[in-house]
Amino acid sequence: MEDRIRKYLKEVESFSGNTLQEIEEFRIKFLSKKGLIAGFFSEFKTIPPDRRKQVGQLINQLKKTVTEKITVLTETLDSDTFIEPDLDPTLPAEPMILGSRHPVSIVRNEIIDIFGHLGFTISEGPEIEDDDHVFSKLNFPPNHPARDMQDTFFIRKGFDEHGNNIDILLRSHTSSVQVRVMEEELPPIRTLSPGRVFRNEAISARSHCIFHQVEGLYIDEYVSFADLKQTLLYFAKEMFGAKTNIRLRPSFFPFTEPSAEMDISCSCNGKGCNLCKFSGWLEILGCGMVDPNVLDYMKIDSKKYTGFAFGMGIERIALLKYRISDIRLLFENDIRFLKQFRSAL
C-alpha cells in the first residue's frame, strides 16, 4: 500500500492540467467519495497497528499534495486573461444596472425591521387553512358575515384530526398563524405574522382579491392598552416620520375587545388634501386587546395573561408611503413602474 501511495505522489507532482476539465477529472480521481484517497482510508483499517502511523502520514501527505496542486493549477488558469487587440483596458467598465425591489417587499421588510427592534419574532403558516384556525378559534360566531362566500374563498369540505367535517379555505387574514403560535407556544408570546391573504372582493383601484398583511401579537402578564398605543406610535413614527401623530377610533373585531382602528396624520399637516379626503387623517390598521375568550380557547389563562393584536395591509402602507393612486399597479409588474424603486432597500 505504501508503494502505491508513493507512486501516486510522483504522479500528482508531475501532473499539469491545461484546462478546467482536466483539473476536475484529476480532482474526481483522487478526492471524490469513490476516489483513490477515500479508498486508501477504507483500506487503512486493515493495516497492522505498528504501521498505521507511517501509512496514515503518507495518505495525508498525498491528500495535501493533491489539494495544493489543484489550487495552484486553478489560480494559474484564472490569471491567464486574454485581451482583445481592439480593447482598451483603460476604459471604464460598463455601468452596473441595479435591479428593483417590489414596493410591497420594501415595505414588508421595513415593517419587520421596525417591530424586530421591539423584540417581535417572525412566524409563518399555510395559505390553505381550515375554518377552525381562520374563524372559530378567533371568536367568530357561526353567522358572522366574514364566513359568507362573498368574502372568503372556500375550496372544499374536509375533516379535522377528530374526524369532524370542516371547511377548507384560502386564509382571509394571517391571524390564523397567530392561532397556530398560541397552540404551540406558552406566554410570553411576541410574534409578527407577514403573509399573503385572499378575499373574494372585486378588483378596483382601492381593493384587490389578493393582498399581503402583517399582523402582530403580544401576550404576557400585565399587558395593557397603553402598551399597544405606544407600540403603534413607535411604528408610525419610524415608518412615516418623527412628526407623525396617531389617533385610535373605537371599532369592532371578533377576536379583540376593546378594538380600535388607527389613523395617522396626513402629510398635509391637517390642511386637507385629496389623499386624506380633506380630513387630515389616514386609516392604516386595526388593533385591540385580545379577547379573553380567545385566550381561554387556546388554553391560556386569561386571568393571568393579557395581550394585544394588530393587523395592517402591506399594500395599504405602500400606497400611502409612495403616493400610489391605484393598487392594481402593484400586481401588474410593469417594468416602467418598478424602475422607480431601483436601488431601494
Domain match, 16 and 133 both: no
> Which pLDDT belongs to residue 92?
72
What confidence tens digit (pLDDT) does each residue in 294-317 have? Answer: 999 899 999 999 999 999 999 999
Average pLDDT in the chain: 86
Choose one of 62, 79, 96: the last residue of a domain.
79
Q: Evaluate whether residue 98 is within a structural domain.
A: no
Residue 190 placed within a domain: yes
Are 144 and 236 contained in the same domain? yes
The reply to whether 71 and 109 lie within a common domain is no
In a domain, 195, yes or no: yes
173 and 54 assigned to the same domain:
no
Its domain, for residue 67, covers 2-79
Same domain, 131 and 72: no
Extract the C-alpha cell encoding 317. Answer: 402602507
Q: Are residues 302 and 182 in the same domain?
A: yes
Domain count, the chain: 2
Residue 100 counted as domain residue: no
Q: Are residues 219 and 331 in the same domain?
A: yes
Which among 305, 120, 289, 293 has a CA at the least distance from the CA of 221? 305
Q: In what order do the strands lie in the sheet with 306-313?
A: 121-122, 189-198, 210-220, 306-313, 281-290, 256-265, 246-253
Same-domain check for residues 23 and 111: no
List the CATH number of the domain containing 288: 3.30.930.10
Contacts of 129 (CB under 8 A, 6+ apart): 168, 169, 170, 171, 176
Q: Which residue has the higher pLDDT, 99 or 219?
A: 219
Please check the confidence at residue 344 and state whether its pLDDT lies above 60: no
Give the C-alpha distances (Å, rounded to integers) separating 205 from 91, 150, 239, 284: 48, 19, 23, 17
Nearest to 136 by CA among 127, 125, 147, 126: 147
Judgement on whether residues 116 and 48 belong to the same structural domain of the protein: no
**Is residue 95, in this structure, part of any structural domain at all?**
no
Q: Is the pTM of this model over 0.85?
A: no
313 forms bridges with which residues in the sheet? 213
- One domain for residues 67 and 118: no
Cis before residue 258, ω within 30 degrees of 0?
yes
Q: Is residue 90 part of a domain?
A: no
Average pLDDT over residues 151-171: 80
Q: Are 249 and 345 in contact (CB under 8 A)?
A: no
Is 290 a member of any domain?
yes
Asked whether residue 85 is domain-assigned, the answer is no
